[in-house]
Structure formats: structure tokens, C-alpha cells
Amino acid sequence: MLGVSFEDARAYATWRTAREGRGICRLPTSTEMAYAGMGDRRCSFSWGNRFDQRFANTRFSRAIARPERVASHPRDESPVWVFDTCGNALEWVTDGYDESRNLRRACGESWGQARTDTLAVGGGIGMTDGTSSGETGSRLIWEEDGDL
């Protein structure tokens, strides 16, 4: 989903937790996002260490940049079977980015941008909690009771 602020994403996670009545639904940390993108490998992108614009949904991957459905770029699949960690949507994580300026981290880069420093798994940019655009979204983690 796109057009989501950090506040929206956190509220949705809280709502999902209450709705399920067990376990916890929450936003990931940047470390968890990095693991989702790389697994146990030490690389910069879900496909390896060399950036290739064809492998992720950024403004340089297609003739016309736009959001795409999940898994439209099969090379942007991590070793732990998570898609689109290096493109399509900036995804909110719980870590701060620049706390002195009240900026929160959003990881993964989006369809409308292409900065290799933010595309890199675990990278990201800083935005205020209320920021939302057609480029911001979220991924949630589900913890069963007693798990994790």
C-alpha cells in the first residue's frame, strides 16, 4: 500500500493487533528490514553488491515510472523470499533517522527515485512522522504470542 505516513502505519499495526486478539503486529526495525532484504548474506542489494537499475522498481527501471504490483521485478527477491526491498515503496521502520530534526527512517527507496544509498538494503531517508506520498508505504511483522 502507498500513501501511508508513519503514524498511519503504526495505527494500522495497532488495529491489526487488536483485531486478531493474539500476538503483535508491528513495524520492523531497519535491522529487520536489512535481514528481509539480504538474509544472512553481506551485500548491498537483495540481488548482490552491484547496483543494476533493471532489478528494482525505480524511476530508471521503466520508460514511465509508476508503482507496480509486488514482485514485478523478480531479481528484487531476497534469499528469505521477500520481494521489493530495494524499490517500489519507501517503507517505514521504527528507527529514528535524525532525532534532532524529528526525522524517522523509511527504507528501500521508491518507484519515483533512484538513489543507490537509499536503495541499499538497510539504507533509507529521513522524513517526519506525518509525511505521506505516493512513494511511502509499510510492511508489517507479525509476532505470535511467545515468538521472537
DSSP code of residue 141: E
By DSSP bridging, strand 141-143 and strand 136-137 are unpaired
Of 103, 119, 120, nearest in space to 111 by CA: 119
Domain annotation for the chain: domains and CATH numbers: 6-141 (3.90.1580.10)
With contact defined as beta carbons under 8 Å apart, do 33 and 121 qualify?
yes
- What is the pLDDT averaged over residues 84-97? 81
The answer on pLDDT for 147 being more than 70 is no
Spell out the residues 6+ positions from residue 72 whose beta carbon is closer than 8 angstroms to its own: 57, 88
**Mean pLDDT taken over the chain:** 79
Using one digit for the tens of pLDDT, what is the confidence trace for 118-141? 555 556 788 898 888 888 888 888
pLDDT for the residue numbered 60 = 76
CB-CB contact of 127 with 98 (8 Å): no
